[in-house]
Amino acid sequence: MATTDALEPATTRRGYPSYSRNVVQRLLLNREAAVIAALVVVYVYSLVSVDFFDGPLTTYNILKEYSPILLMALPMTLIIITGEIDLSVASTLGVSAAFCGVLVKEHGVDLTTAMVLTLVLGIVLGAVNGFLVAYVGLPSLAVTIGTLALYRGLAEGLIQTDRIAGFDPKWQDWPTERIGGTNVPQIVIPVAILAVVFFVLLHFTSFGRGVYEIGLSPEAAHFSGVNVARTKFLLFVMSGLIASLAGLYVMLRADSAATDTGIGFELKVIASVLLGGVSIFGGRGALHGVIAGVLLIAVLNSALLLSNQGSEVIQIIIGLLLVASVISSSFLSRFRELLPRRTASTNQVSGQKSRKAPQ
């Protein structure tokens, strides 16, 4: 955690020099810690006061339902930290499920081969986004709204009216089987491995440093030797690959691929990433916060469903949490300016905010 705090930008709008505060404050007074604390509070509260929340199915269902969101949130975190966005993930997920289903059911391809081909498709779809954003220089918001429609359209074109169902049970059961006697489905194994991979990639490699630098200032990153275009390109490729992996999982879990598979997931993913403390302006955020953000939404959802609240309540809560999270950071930064600092001379950075990215 100390590493991520050290990366905290000194020049963003929420900017304050990290080391003007002591180590306890640095570890506890940040967005990630706040999200994790909220997660723990909600979880403990639900265990105590929501009936059946401590039952054996809760953990299992949470992990089963939210694995795709968690998967897609990993590369999305890195993309948003560079100041870009990928709205097309849910459509990539949908078209991957459709593509794999069509290969297996209409062309008689072996399921394992079809899954490998689908992952290749994911890479290609991500590369299209990455090429347009990184090398053509188009705004990612506009590009991925386009590919959101395009990829969803491809899924619809591939499947047409059919719903493809009935896959090889060997593969179909694997992701949702429990690990040993625990309540953890096996899909968590690849999710956990990927989470560690992305955590290391973002926080402990020069590539990850480059991701933060790009988010803070693309020009400065370029001049300090970061290959901005290649980094962004690779991130979008990763996003496509992971989204198609999530698509395969969703397809196997539901034992079907339909035109609306995964529809609307993109906003859920982005909502969890932003809730996890990643700044939409780029340059700030950490992966453990994002994972806590996804789990927070998952636990809230599960607890509310168990207390007989409809799914609309969770929507309202996600919405309010999102708004509250951005407002609180705007408030916090003003509040912190009033706090005593270690060194007075480093206080001068939080004046004019730099509005580099739109929205």
Q: What is the DSSP string of 1-65?
A: -HHHHHTS-SSSTT---GGGS-HHHHHHSSHHHHHHHHHHHHHHHHHHHSTTTTSHHHHHHHHHH
Total residues at interface with another protein (CB under 8 A): 59
Q: How far apart are CA 221 and CA 230, in angstroms?
A: 12
CB-CB contact of 262 with 97 (8 Å): yes
Instruction: Write the interaction track for another protein spanning residues 199-238; mark x where CB under 8 A is met and - where it is not.
Output: ----------------------------------------
Smallest Cα–Cα separation from 238: which of 202, 284, 267?
202
What's the sign of the alpha-carbon dihedral 122, 192, 312, 164? positive
CB of 54 to another protein, least distance (A): 27
Specify the 3-state DSSP secondary structure of 257: strand
- Interface residue with another protein, options 1, 27, 313, 332 (CB under 8 A): 313
CB of 262 to another protein, least distance (A): 14
Residues 6+ apart with CB under 8 A from 308: none
Is residue 99 involved in binding another protein (CB under 8 A)? no
CB-CB contact of 228 with 132 (8 Å): no
CB of 279 to another protein, least distance (A): 8
Specify the stretch interacting with another protein by CB under 8 A; choose among 177-185, 199-207, 217-225, 320-328: 320-328
Binding to another protein, residues 13-42 (CB under 8 A): 13
Binding to another protein, residues 131-190 (CB under 8 A): 132, 136-139, 141-143, 145-154, 156-157, 159-161
CB of 97 to another protein, least distance (A): 15
CB of 245 to another protein, least distance (A): 22
Is residue 305 involved in binding another protein (CB under 8 A)? no
Q: How far apart are CA 285 and CA 80, in angstroms?
A: 9
Q: How far apart are CA 240 and CA 260, in angstroms?
A: 18
| Between 148 and 295, CB nearer to another protein | 148
- Interface residue with another protein, options 308, 345, 348, 352 (CB under 8 A): 352
Is residue 344 involved in binding another protein (CB under 8 A)? no
CB of 138 to another protein, least distance (A): 5
CB-CB contact of 56 with 183 (8 Å): yes
| Between 24 and 338, CB nearer to another protein | 338
Binding to another protein, residues 68-87 (CB under 8 A): 85, 87
Binding to another protein, residues 265-304 (CB under 8 A): 267, 270-271, 274, 280-281
CB of 234 to another protein, least distance (A): 21
Q: What is the DSSP string of 92-147?
A: HHHHHHHHHHHHHHHH---HHHHHHHHHHHHHHHHHHHHIIIIIS---HHHHHHHH
Specify the 3-state DSSP secondary structure of 264: coil
Is residue 314 involved in binding another protein (CB under 8 A)? yes
Instruction: Point out which residues bind another protein (CB under 8 A).
Output: 13, 85, 87, 132, 136-139, 141-143, 145-154, 156-157, 159-161, 259, 264, 267, 270-271, 274, 280-281, 310-323, 325-327, 330-331, 352-355, 358-359
